[in-house]
Amino acid sequence: MTQANAARRLGALPLGRPLAVHPGRRCAGIALILVLAAGLAGCETLGFYRQAVSGQLSLLWQRQDVADLLADPDTPAPLARQLRLSQDLLDWAEAELALDSAGQYRSFVDLDREAAVWVVFAAEEFSLAPVQWCYPLVGCLAYRGYFDETRARRLQASLAGKDTHISAVAAYSTLGWFRDPLLSTFIDYPDADLAGLLFHELAHGRLFLSGDTAFNESYASFVEREGARQWLAEHREAGVLAAAELRWRRLDAFQAMLAHWRQALADLYSQPYPDATMRLLKKALLDDLLQCYESNADFFDGAYDGYFAQPVNNARLMSSGLYFRWRDSFAELFVESGRDWAAFHQAAEAWSALPEAEREDVLRRYRAAWRARQDASGDQHIAEGRDQQHPQQIQCQALTHHRGDGETASAEHDDVRGSRHR
């Protein structure tokens, strides 16, 4: 895809969810991964690492320095505008969010495809526990990423009998092991979304806990939202921030709705029903989810119609929850840190050093404290504040008659929590 084509596409792509995919580290890291992969089971595993290495090298070889592009009079004006904005965002993140870009996103790659990677999620037919894939250096994660969609579809086909989902992802982080480039798959995002994406990925580079996808994504998602809110408040007129806040309220309400159905499904899966009965009840619950969304069409205003364009299953519901499980915990930590970003990051790093059971106990306590704070004050000035309107606007059976478990809307079931490290 040429620079002119990329410029014509500005604003055309929907917002994708960035994930941390970790293919390797510099040339020495690449060689190490290939050696390690050779000792792992099966040709498919070796093939996965080969495509990861070749895909990452392809990106590195195609990089163009942003400074050179901005100095080139042939660079289309819309693309130059986005490149310039990205550099301002990186500088601001270093100065205000205590995030070190360390040379990240100072180059650009124009990809001839609509996604950077295709990420495969999987779960058993009657479970919300993610299938885990384990990697050298980064531990086990709840997904597997491919630079080639065909390979992702091949893995999906090999998981027959499981619930699977493939997500086309616009951006990923190598966690600071490479100098990641800006990509044509996301450079055309609206200002708020581009800011959030870059802050999210820089957060992954600052803190990444091996083997705990929900911790990593919740931390980065908090930084994404609160960082974007602060940047918009400083650099854009009030109407732009208000529009972003409306989209975020809808997103939080949608995720709360999905969380209720995850809990309802987890309750179902804990019952000793025969498979045929379980299958029918599962389908009924998923049908109810769609009906709930459709019955609240005025509130959502079509924002998540695309979510239901593909069948909803355990893998899709599980993957969406990874970004939200502990966001409220990090919101409370941010308040406790005096809204000081450096202190916040240091405290999050201290959490990551705790043993798993102790860490999750702390996360649960901080999540409960944040929600009690919200219930008492209705404060909406922190990124992860729960929307105070949607409980009245979204009225569905699974929301109003569901058995409570002491967790609130964005909680995950213990089935997910307890099986993250397999």
Ordered per-residue pLDDT tens for the chain, 422 residues:
333 333 323 322 222 333 333 322 223 333 333 333 333 444 557 778 888 888 888 888 999 999 999 999 999 999 999 999 999 999 999 999 999 998 899 999 999 899 999 999 999 999 999 999 988 767 788 889 999 999 999 999 999 999 999 999 999 888 878 899 999 999 999 999 999 999 999 999 999 998 898 999 999 999 999 999 999 999 999 999 999 999 999 999 999 999 999 999 999 999 999 999 999 999 999 999 999 999 999 999 999 999 999 889 999 999 988 888 999 999 999 999 999 999 999 999 999 999 999 999 999 999 999 999 988 876 544 433 333 333 334 667 554 333 333 333 333 333 322 222 23
The answer to whether residues 195 and 316 belong to one domain is no
Residues spanned by the domain of 216: 3-240
Q: How many CB atoms lie within 10 A of CB 333?
A: 24
Report DSSP state, residue 388. Answer: S
pLDDT at residue 21 in the model: 33
Q: Is residue 184 part of a domain?
A: yes
Same domain for 179 and 320: no
8 Å CB contact between 121 and 142: yes
Domain closes at, from 216, 240, 264: 240
The total of other beta-carbon atoms located within 10 Å of residue 87's CB is 16
**Domain endpoint, select from 222, 240, 258:** 240
284 and 160 together in one domain? no
Beta bridge partner(s), residue 166 = 120
> Using alpha carbons only, how large is the chain's radius of gyration in Å?
21
Other CB atoms within 10 Å distance of the CB of residue 125? 14
- Do the beta carbons of residue 142 and residue 131 sit within 8 Å? yes
Question: What is the pTM (predicted TM-score) of this model?
Answer: 0.80
Which helix (H) or strand (E) element contains residue 144?
strand 144-146
Of 214, 240, 266, the residue that ends a domain is 240
* 213 and 102 housed in the same domain: yes
Helix (H/G/I), strand (E/B), else coil: 374: helix
Structural domain includes residue 422:
no
d(CA 127, CA 60): 39
71 and 207 part of one domain: yes
- Residue 212 and residue 261 in one domain: no
Q: DSSP labels for 43-68?
A: HHHHHHHHHHHHHHHHHHHH-EEHHH
286/385 same-domain check? yes
Q: Does residue 341 contact residue 200 with C-beta atoms inside 8 Å?
A: no
Residue-level pLDDT at 375? 87
Is the separation of the CB atoms in 199 and 206 below 8 Å?
no
**Alpha-helix residue ranges (DSSP H) falling in 324-355:** 327-336, 341-352
DSSP state of 134: E
First to last CA, the chain: 41
Residues 9 and 76: their CA atoms lie apart, in Å, by 12
Residues 79 and 205 in one domain: yes
Question: Do 196 and 228 contact (CB within 8 A), yes or no?
Answer: yes
* Amino acid identity at 144: R
Structure token pair of residue 306: 């695309």
How many H-runs (helices) and E-runs (strands) does the chain carry?
A: 18, 10
